Amino acid sequence: MADLLDVLSDVARQAAAKSSMPEWMDPMLAKLTHEHFSSEDWIYERKLDGERVIAYVDSGGDARLMSRNEKDISENYPEVVRALEAHAPAGCILDGEVVAFNSQGVSDFQRLQGRMQSGGEADDDLRIYYYLFDCMYVDGHDVTGCAQHERKMLLRAAVDWKEPLRFTPHRNTEGETYFEEACRKGWEGLIAKRADAPYVHSRSKKWLKFKCENRQELIICGWTDPKGSRIGFGALLLGYYSDGDLVYAGEVGTGFDDETLRNLHGRLERIERDSSPFDRGDVPTKGVHFATPKLVGEVAFTEWTRDGRLRHPRFKGLRRDKSARDVRREG
């Protein structure tokens, strides 16, 4: 195989650092912004509603998939592992998102929940895809010091693009127009990336989230009793950390099917506690069961109210790729 680094400019090749392949590299994370813009210095990608997955293909060609908090999730997406072993270069670290689409062609995080909870190809009818958008290590070199647009060019050249592996396309300059299109199509939003930026192993203003709807990861801290024919629970009590305090953010009672109500209730019962874990907020007490703040869920909502509650929240699914202690309010 030809030297993959040949696709890079002279400046980028100098920025690529020859090194042994690391066991772990922290992923780069985007910051939320409400200021949408267009610029020739930025590229714009579709924000996919799936699970962030870092792929490691060792020197022997064996692949493993890792969540952003260092959990091996290879068993959940075996078809992706097989595809990487067949079509990605040995000795690489790639960054992307595993997604499934609904009938309208929109990526849907809820459709992944069965895979994320049970592992394996549990639903033979569920087609998943691994959208790759960056690379951190390839051909014996750490390439995180190379510019964003150079890394994407390298990624395109490095992989043999066969399903379920997909290259994440981007647009140049047209950030506002693309964002309007994304919202019309029902997408979650866009990720804006500074074209000349290196890959950093932290949250950075060089990657920005343009969201069509508000999304927030929140800690599940308890539940209310169900009413009528409802099974499991009525609503979940949610919170986030601020200056070391666990702050009450309100309840979410929609977005659940019966299987989720039943399974999540069983998990919560195993971590039930007698006292409230909250440090701040007007927390309800009637018909409430409190839980040790361990589980993290993703919630869509219209806005934050003046008293710091979620307005019109909808539960989207459990997140296994973020520690509860890392959950903070966005925006």
pLDDT, tens digit (0-9, with 9 covering 90-100), for 180-235: 999 999 899 999 999 999 999 999 999 999 999 889 999 999 999 999 999 999 99
- For residues 238 and 219, the answer to whether their CB atoms sit within 8 Å is yes
Domain boundary among 168, 203, 231: 168
pLDDT, tens digit (0-9, with 9 covering 90-100), for 87-132: 999 999 999 999 999 988 899 998 998 888 776 655 567 899 999 9
For the chain, the first-to-last Cα distance in angstroms comes to 46
Does residue 255 share a domain with residue 132?
Answer: no
Does residue 139 share a domain with residue 75?
Answer: yes
Does residue 267 share a domain with residue 140?
Answer: no
- Number of compact structural domains in the chain: 2
Distance CA(110)–CA(61), nearest Å, equals 31
Distance CA(319)–CA(252), nearest Å, equals 16
Distance CA(317)–CA(315), nearest Å, equals 6
Domain boundary among 133, 149, 168: 168
| Residue 24: CATH number of its domain | 3.30.470.30
Distance CA(113)–CA(213), nearest Å, equals 20
Residue 153 is assigned to a structural domain of this protein: yes
Residue 184 is assigned to a structural domain of this protein: no
Does residue 269 share a domain with residue 156?
Answer: no
- pTM recorded for the entire structure: 0.86
Residue 120 is assigned to a structural domain of this protein: yes
Does residue 111 share a domain with residue 50?
Answer: yes
Segment among 10-19, 40-49, 124-133 with least mean pLDDT: 124-133
Domain boundary among 168, 199, 233: 168
Residue 162 is assigned to a structural domain of this protein: yes
H-helix or E-strand containing 304?
strand 303-304
Residue 199 is assigned to a structural domain of this protein: no
Does residue 163 share a domain with residue 306?
Answer: no
Indicate if the pLDDT at residue 2 is higher than 60.
no
Indicate if the pLDDT at residue 250 is higher than 90.
yes
Residue 268 is assigned to a structural domain of this protein: yes
Q: With H, G, I as helix, E, B as strand and everything else as coil, classify residue 70.
A: coil
Task: Match 């996919």 to its residue by tokens.
Answer: 48
**Encoding tokens for residue 230?**
């409802």
Q: With H, G, I as helix, E, B as strand and everything else as coil, classify residue 175.
A: helix
Distance CA(237)–CA(289), nearest Å, equals 9
| Residue 321: CATH number of its domain | 2.40.50.140
Distance CA(188)–CA(42), nearest Å, equals 19
Cα separation values, 281 from 71, 185, 189, 284, Å: 33, 37, 31, 9
Does residue 21 share a domain with residue 157?
Answer: yes
Cα separation values, 210 from 123, 183, 230, Å: 32, 10, 36
Q: Known catalytic residues?
A: 47
Name the phi and psi angles at 267, rounded to 5.
-70, -40
Does residue 80 share a domain with residue 18?
Answer: yes
**Domain carrying residue 270:** 214-326
Task: Match 């813009």 to its residue by tokens.
Answer: 37
Tell me whether the omega of the peptide bond preceding residue 164 falls within 30 degrees of 0, making it cis: yes
Taking Cα atoms as reference points, which of 134, 136, 130, 132 lies closest to residue 26? 136
Does residue 128 share a domain with residue 61?
Answer: yes
Residue 218 is assigned to a structural domain of this protein: yes
Residue 106 is assigned to a structural domain of this protein: yes
**pLDDT given at position 1:** 43
Does residue 221 share a domain with residue 149?
Answer: no
